Structure 1
Amino acid sequence: MKKANILYLVPLLALSGCALSEDFSPPANGKTVKIAVVKPSNVDILPMDVIYRSEKCRDKIFTSTGAISSRAGYHLLTVPFKPETGSGTVSNNVVLDGGQCEWKLSNIKFDFQYHDMKFFGGNVKKNIPSDVVFVFDDNAPPRGDGHYNDVYGAIEIKKNYYPLIRKKNTDENMLVLSMQGQPMLTYRVHDASSIVFEPVFHSNMIVNAVPPIKKGDGYTLIYPNGDKIIDRYFPNSEKTKYEFVKQKSR
């Protein structure tokens, strides 16, 4: 059977013709999952992108052949984190379902980044955040490489991160800061009551990435202890998974 390429989609309220409201109106006593982050003092935790999907209110899809198909409806909420009194933790409760369309929680994504770029010098002009995604159903998440870590119940995740400072090829005076750890951090959640995420940021373990003089020679990665690695595939290689930086800095 030949598959047609999808060109675009248009939101469609209830393909069956029912006049349903697409508003997300969760029940007063509906089930929730608590999302909490143990926040380092020098890291900003950005609001959550919370995506719900509906089989009842589907999106109409036009294919390259002009045929009409559909997929589960899409609804996005932005949910801020709130500080918990007397702790360094920020959190909020996310509703699992609600509304006439019977929206169901599909995935949650949030970003985090270093608070003050100036800490790493005046030439750092761009701050690239890291993110984490939690998937609650079988729909594709907003990003990912197809690999998931399965997690269950009361979930606690702790990951190390390190600052990478990269010099731009096009501007020798412009440096870019990013938080590096395990890339594409994606979890498939099963029967979770709460999720606690703790990013541990080692701000003194700086990795510098220097672009090659000749195109194709590869970046030079310079570690805190002075070790240097030539990486021809930077930033898309195994060497940029910085879990081993802590050992190198000893």
Structure 2
Amino acid sequence: MRPIQKMAFELVAAAKHMPRFHRIPVVLCMMFFSLSGCRQDYSLAPPANSEKITVTVKLPKELKTETMWVMYRSAICKSIRRGASGQRVEQDGRHSVYKELERQGESDLYQVELPKDGGGACRWHLANVTFGVVYADPTRFGENVTSGGGGGVVVIFDYNDSPRGGADIKVEGDLTIKKDYYPWLSESFLGGYKKYISLSGEGGIYRIYQALEARRVHFKPILHSNFAVYSTEPKEKKEGNHTKFTYPDGSVVEERQSQPDFWKLQSIRTGRAPECFSRWRYFACPDPRPRLLPDWLPEPDQPGFGRYVIVNEWGSRLPSYSYRLVGKDGRTYEEKTDVDGFTDPLPDSAHPVRDVEFPVWKR
């Protein structure tokens, strides 16, 4: 006899000897016994000493925070469904809660604290959060303008995918997100006229991060209000008809893509080549902006000497890159980095440096 059947048999036997008014709860319990006992409690019950994860948004004045979707998972309380062939499929249970980020005093910071350990009989753990920013008043862009997408963030705290998929970026430690956004006013006609104000940023509507060790998540959206982009979709579905984009510099481009060219927007605002804003296309950037990392790394084989590392805007080391350093001792050191981005060995008397220049760009 299986354990659950044995327990049910024992309950029935015991009920025969109970007073009548005690039998009803037992019968009710039997009705739900196959659902993991007498109504298993699926609620959250975070312990008082649960570690907290703090999410903070530094909010531009024209935007507002969206309601945060918080998902907890449980390996104990399984979710059971049927597969395409009728087979039984078990997955970790999911429990969703919704939180509003609260303003911190009179500042532009909005924050929420989440218990990492959800507790309860299911032993819930924090799996992921979905949040973001949108325009607080879409109608300032015209009558019947509604809020569109963009400005969304998903952070995953475990090894599972989020409801919106897997991570685009994986980070160690706490997570700081600093992203540029542009106003995007779009008009569509097919299926009825609609007008949206969205946020055009890098990637799609949501950027997805995995931060297994994070205890603090800080999101700083930077809104460039004076660099709006406009789009108009075709009025009829016809071969050769594409969405027309009007960029802040007045250029008009008709393209197959459904959203603005973010790199073009970055280029218009800064005057730099689009490749300079993409980690993957940075090799073609004609105007790289290197920096000297402040860490002084002692040279193991040369006591009294150390090196610096020179990296690009993305933090990647720059090999064969020209530099000119003025050390603390007043001496000037001019050379190129080695294949790993390290400077030549410098005497301890040069640290910390007074000044650094990158006079000529050489690979």
- After TM superposition, is the score higher than 0.5? yes
Deviation at 1:67, TM superposition (A): 2.5
**Structure-1 residue corresponding to 2:9:** none
What amino acid does structure 1 have at the position aligned with 2:180?
N
**Structure-1 residue corresponding to 2:229:** 207
Q: In the alignment, does 2:116 pair up with 1:96?
A: yes
Q: CA separation of 1:181/1:174 partners in 2, compared to 1, >3 Å: closer, same or farther?
A: same
Contact 2:156 2:167 in 1 (8 A): no
| More displaced 10-residue stretch of structure 1: 132-141 or 33-42 | 132-141
Q: In the alignment, does 2:145 pair up with 1:121?
A: no
**Structure-2 residue corresponding to 1:17:** 36
- Which residue of the other structure, out of 163, 168, 173, is the alignment partner of 2:183? 163
Q: In the alignment, does 2:218 pair up with 1:196?
A: yes
- Which residue of the other structure, out of 76, 93, 101, is the alignment partner of 1:81? 101
**Structure-2 residue corresponding to 1:232:** 256
**Structure-2 residue corresponding to 1:177:** 197
Contact 2:54 2:216 in 1 (8 A): yes
Matches within 5 A, 1:46-57: 46-57=66-77
Q: Alpha carbon RMSD of aligned pairs, Å? A: 2.3
Q: In the alignment, does 2:172 pair up with 1:152?
A: yes
Q: CA separation of 1:96/1:29 partners in 2, compared to 1, >3 Å: closer, same or farther?
A: same
Q: CA separation of 1:51/1:86 partners in 2, compared to 1, >3 Å: closer, same or farther?
A: same
**Structure-1 residue corresponding to 2:56:** 36
Q: Return the alpha-carbon distance in structure 2 between the equivalents of residues 173 and 66 of structure 1.
A: 43
Q: Return the alpha-carbon distance in structure 1 between the equivalents of residues 56 and 216 of structure 2.
A: 8
Contact 1:128 1:176 in 2 (8 A): yes
Q: Return the alpha-carbon distance in structure 2 between the equivalents of residues 17 and 171 of structure 1.
A: 48
Deviation at 1:15, TM superposition (A): 8.3
Contact 2:101 2:110 in 1 (8 A): yes
What amino acid does structure 2 have at the position aligned with 1:137?
D
Contact 1:160 1:243 in 2 (8 A): no
Partner-residue secondary structure (3-state), 1:245: helix
Structure with higher RCO (Cα < 8 A, 6+ apart):
1
Give the alignment's TM-score, normalised by structure 2.
0.59
Identity level (%): 26
Q: Return the alpha-carbon distance in structure 1 between the equivalents of residues 173 and 65 of structure 2.
A: 23
**Structure-2 residue corresponding to 1:108:** 129
Spell out, residue by residue over 1:215-240, the C-alpha distance to the aligned partner (whole angstroms, 9 max, x if none).
Answer: 242111110110122211324xxxx3
Q: Return the alpha-carbon distance in structure 1 between the equivalents of residues 75 and 148 of structure 2.
A: 35
Q: CA separation of 1:74/1:205 partners in 2, compared to 1, >3 Å: closer, same or farther?
A: same
What amino acid does structure 1 have at the position aligned with 2:256?
R
Contact 2:157 2:214 in 1 (8 A): no
Contact 1:161 1:181 in 2 (8 A): yes
Aligned residues: 232
What amino acid does structure 1 have at the position aligned with 2:74?
S
Deviation at 1:118, TM superposition (A): 2.5
Q: Return the alpha-carbon distance in structure 2 between the equivalents of residues 158 and 100 of structure 1.
A: 38
Q: Return the alpha-carbon distance in structure 2 between the equivalents of residues 39 and 140 of structure 1.
A: 27
User: Which has more radius of gyration?
Assistant: 2
| Structure 1 unaligned regions, length at least 5 | 1-12
| More displaced 10-residue stretch of structure 1: 69-78 or 80-89 | 80-89
Q: CA separation of 1:224/1:241 partners in 2, compared to 1, >3 Å: closer, same or farther?
A: closer
Deviation at 1:190, TM superposition (A): 2.2
| Structure 2 unaligned regions, length at least 5 | 1-31, 272-363
Deviation at 1:69, TM superposition (A): 2.4
- Which residue of the other structure, out of 79, 83, 92, is the alignment partner of 1:72? 92
**Structure-1 residue corresponding to 2:155:** 134
**Structure-1 residue corresponding to 2:47:** 27
Name whichever structure is richer in helix by fraction.
2
Contact 1:147 1:186 in 2 (8 A): yes
Q: Return the alpha-carbon distance in structure 2 between the equivalents of residues 69 and 246 of structure 1.
A: 46
Name whichever structure is richer in strand by fraction.
1
